[in-house]
């Protein structure tokens, strides 16, 4: 395989850096909040807090996957209050909309950083879930990069799962797919 | 003289934030119209006349670039300055918006100061 045919690679550390920059920038500029970033890690299972708010966005291009933003219901109310300068006593449509928009801004900026390495990508419109004892399942076989942040003693997590698209012409064998997946897990 | 504005974004949160930011930026706001997508925006403009449009790009039904194209093809709306306010930071989308006639481009997240600077040469 020539250098020209080499698929672009991206590591967990690179993804972590993109998520950290995007999330801290959104919280600082739009909410006036400085977020403390914690150690990132890789996990095999998709995200799913036993209860709280989870927003999901899909990414598609030569690489494709999903990104999520999750936090407790209490934290979702705090974030919405800071963003919209209003008090929220419960989770309502405005809170879910605010969390969806924060997710859109965070993962939209991650997408822009990813595009410099992996080429053009599309971003879906966010879906926001609020509930208790729910689980999530992804059909993707790749690992999730998880970047937690601390705010007021609570944790916010941003997850990203990314793998080369099946249609990508650059990837020509299962072995090469495997290499790309392993790169994510470093 | 007050300025009537149309804010187009599928997020009610962002529409609310942009309205607040326009006030913080000392824009002499008149009526503020809101639309959740390009189709709603075009319907709104059948009845309303505005001096500025702030529009997202990624929206359901009709996105911001399609809206921009439609506005620039209509005699009654082609001279309204349109500023794209979006998470789309890729150069392809920026160039597409500029080629379609966008008056400016603000990337989310944004500060009131950035919106003010962008409006300075337009409003």
- Provide the whole-model pTM: 0.83
- The pLDDT of A45-57, averaged and rounded, is 80
Residue A68: HSE in the Cβ half-sphere, 13 Å Cα cutoff: 25
Residue A28 is classified by DSSP as I
Whether the ω angle into residue B109 lies within 30 degrees of 0, i.e. cis, is yes
Q: What is the pLDDT of residue A48?
A: 59
ipTM here: 0.82
Looking at per-residue pLDDT, the higher value among A180 and A21 belongs to A21
Instruction: For residue B119, give every residue at least 6 positions away whose Cβ sits within 8 Å of its Cβ, in sequence order, or none.
Output: B25, B27, B52, B83, B104
Residues A86-124: tens digit of each pLDDT: 999 999 999 999 999 999 999 999 999 999 889 889 889
Confidence band of A81 (pLDDT split at 50, 70, 90): very high
* Among chain B residues, CA nearest to A24: B109
Share the mean pLDDT of chain A. Answer: 83
Q: Domains of chain B, with CATH numbers?
A: 3-64+86-120 (3.40.50.2300)
Partner-chain contact B110 A112, CB within 8 Å = no
Show the DSSP H helices in A120-173 as ranges. none
Partner-chain contact A108 B87, CB within 8 Å = yes
| CATH number, domain A11-185 | 3.40.1550.10
Alpha-carbon distance B103 to B82, whole Å?
5
Residues A142-186: tens digit of each pLDDT: 789 999 999 989 999 999 999 888 654 443 333 333 333 323 332
B56 touches chain A (CB under 8 A): no
| A120 vs B contacts (CB less than 8 Å) | 90, 92
Residues B56-72: tens digit of each pLDDT: 998 889 999 999 999 99
Where are the strands (E) in chain B, listed by range?
A: 3-8, 29-35, 52-55, 82-86, 104-107
Alpha-carbon distance B23 to B116, whole Å?
10
Cα distance from B81 to chain A (closest Cα, Å)? Answer: 24
Q: What is the pLDDT of residue B25?
A: 84
Q: Residue A146 in contact with residue A40, Cβ under 8 Å? A: yes
From B61, B53, B55, B122, select the one nearest B93 (Cα to Cα): B55
Ramachandran area for residue A105 (φ above 0: left; ψ -120 to 50: alpha; else beta): alpha
Domain boundaries, chain A: 11-185
* Among chain A residues, CA nearest to B93: A120
Alpha-carbon distance A170 to A174, whole Å?
12
């Amino acid at each position: 395989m020539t250098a020209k045919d080499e698929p672009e690679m991206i590591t967990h550390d690179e993804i972590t850096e993109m998520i950290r920059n995007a999330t801290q920038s959104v919280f600082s500029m739009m909410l006036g909040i400085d977020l403390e970033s914690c150690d990132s890690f890789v996990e095999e299972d998709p995200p799913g807090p036993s209860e709280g708010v989870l927003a999901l966005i899909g990414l598609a291009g030569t690489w494709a996957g999903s990104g999520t933003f999750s936090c407790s219901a209490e934290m979702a109310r705090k974030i919405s209050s800071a963003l919209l300068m209003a008090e929220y006593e419960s989770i309502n449509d405005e809170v879910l909309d605010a969390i969806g928009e924060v997710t859109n801004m965070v993962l939209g900026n991650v997408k822009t950083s990813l595009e410099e390495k992996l080429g053009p990508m599309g971003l879906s419109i966010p879906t926001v879930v609020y509930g208790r004892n729910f689980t999530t399942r992804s059909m993707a076989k790749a690992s999730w990069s998880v970047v937690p942040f601390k705010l007021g003693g609570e944790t916010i997590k941003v997850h990203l799962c990314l793998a080369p698209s099946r249609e990508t012409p650059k990837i020509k064998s299962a072995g090469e797919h495997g290499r790309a997946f392993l790169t994510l897990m470093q | 003289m007050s300025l009537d504005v149309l804010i187009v974004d599928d997020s009610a949160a962002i529409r609310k934030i942009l309205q607040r930011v326009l006030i913080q930026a000392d824009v002499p706001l008149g009526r503020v119209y809101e639309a959740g997508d390009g189709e709603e925006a075009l319907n709104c403009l059948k009845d309303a006349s505005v001096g500025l449009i702030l529009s997202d790009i990624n929206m359901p039904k009709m996105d911001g670039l399609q809206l921009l194209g439609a506005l620039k093809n209509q005699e009654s709306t082609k001279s309204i300055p349109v500023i794209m306010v979006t998470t789309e930071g890729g150069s392809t989308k920026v160039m597409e918006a500029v080629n379609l006639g966008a008056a400016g481009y603000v990337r989310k997240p944004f500060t009131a100061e950035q919106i003010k600077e962008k409006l300075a040469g337009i409003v």
